[in-house]
Homo-oligomer: A and B are copies of this chain.
Amino acid sequence: MITITPTMNFASDNWAGAHPAISQRLLEASTGFSAPYGTSALDRKIEQRFNELFEREVAVYFVSTGTAANSLALAAVNRPGGVSFCHREAHMLEDECGAPEFFTHGARLAPVDGEDGKIDPNHLIAEIGRFPPNFVHVGQPMAISITQATEIGTLYKPDEIAAIAEIAKTYGLPLHMDGARFANALVALELTPAEMTWKRGVDIVSFGGTKNGCWCAEALVFMNPELGKDLPFIRKRAAQLFSKSRFIACQFDAYLQDGLWLHLARHANAMAERLREGIVSSKRAKLAWHPEANEVFCILDKAHADELQKKGAVFYQWNPPRVGPGLLAQHEVLIRLVTSFATEADQIDQFLELLG
Contact partner, A4, options B40, B72, B238, B243, Cβ 8 Å: B40
| Residue contact B4 to A41, C-beta cutoff 8 Å | yes
Contact of A224 with B by CB under 8 A: no
Closest B residue to A17 using CB positions: B30
Q: Flag A94-117 by CB within 8 Å of B: 1 or 0 each.
A: 111111011111111100000000
Contact of A294 with B by CB under 8 A: no
| Residue contact B4 to A17, C-beta cutoff 8 Å | no
- Nearest-neighbour CB distance to chain B for A328, whole angstroms, equals 15
- Nearest-neighbour CB distance to chain B for A178, whole angstroms, equals 13
| Residue contact B41 to A243, C-beta cutoff 8 Å | no
Interface residues of A in 241-263 (CB under 8 A from B): 241-244, 246-247
Contact partner, A106, options B15, B72, B106, B210, Cβ 8 Å: B106
Bound CA span A246–B27, Å = 17
A-side binding surface: helix, strand, loop or mixed? loop
| Residue contact A65 to B35, C-beta cutoff 8 Å | no
Contact partner, A27, options B23, B103, B244, Cβ 8 Å: B23
- Nearest-neighbour CB distance to chain B for A89, whole angstroms, equals 12
| Residue contact A237 to B20, C-beta cutoff 8 Å | no
User: Residues of B contacting A6 with CB < 8 Å?
Assistant: 32-33
| Residue contact B2 to A210, C-beta cutoff 8 Å | no
Closest B residue to A248 using CB positions: B216
| Residue contact A247 to B18, C-beta cutoff 8 Å | yes
- Nearest-neighbour CB distance to chain B for A354, whole angstroms, equals 17
Q: Flag A9-50 by CB within 8 Å of B: 1 or 0 each.
A: 101101111111011101101111111110111001000000
| Residue contact A36 to B14, C-beta cutoff 8 Å | yes
Contact of A64 with B by CB under 8 A: yes
Bound CA span A14–B246, Å = 11
Stretch of A79-87, A150-158, A161-169 that contacts chain B: A79-87
User: Residues of B contacting A240 with CB < 8 Å?
Assistant: 64-65, 68, 239
Bound CA span A250–B289, Å = 38
Bound CA span A22–B243, Å = 17
Contact partner, A134, options B26, B34, B232, Cβ 8 Å: B232
Contact of A148 with B by CB under 8 A: no
| Residue contact B26 to A215, C-beta cutoff 8 Å | yes
Bound CA span A210–B33, Å = 14
Contact of A5 with B by CB under 8 A: yes
Contact of A230 with B by CB under 8 A: yes
Contact partner, A139, options B22, B41, B98, B342, Cβ 8 Å: B98
| Residue contact B80 to A230, C-beta cutoff 8 Å | yes
Contact of A329 with B by CB under 8 A: no
| Residue contact B239 to A67, C-beta cutoff 8 Å | yes
- Nearest-neighbour CB distance to chain B for A136, whole angstroms, equals 4
Bound CA span A232–B247, Å = 26
Bound CA span A40–B1, Å = 7
Residues in chain A within 8 A of chain B (CB atoms):
1-6, 9, 11-12, 14-20, 22-24, 26-27, 29-37, 39-41, 44, 63-68, 71-72, 75, 79-83, 94-99, 101-109, 130, 134, 136-140, 210-211, 215-216, 230, 232-244, 246-247, 314, 319, 342
- 9 more A-B residue pairs beyond the given contacts A80-B233, A105-B105, A105-B106, with a C-beta to C-beta distance below 8 A: A3-B41, A4-B33, A14-B243, A17-B32, A22-B30, A79-B230, A81-B97, A97-B237, A106-B237
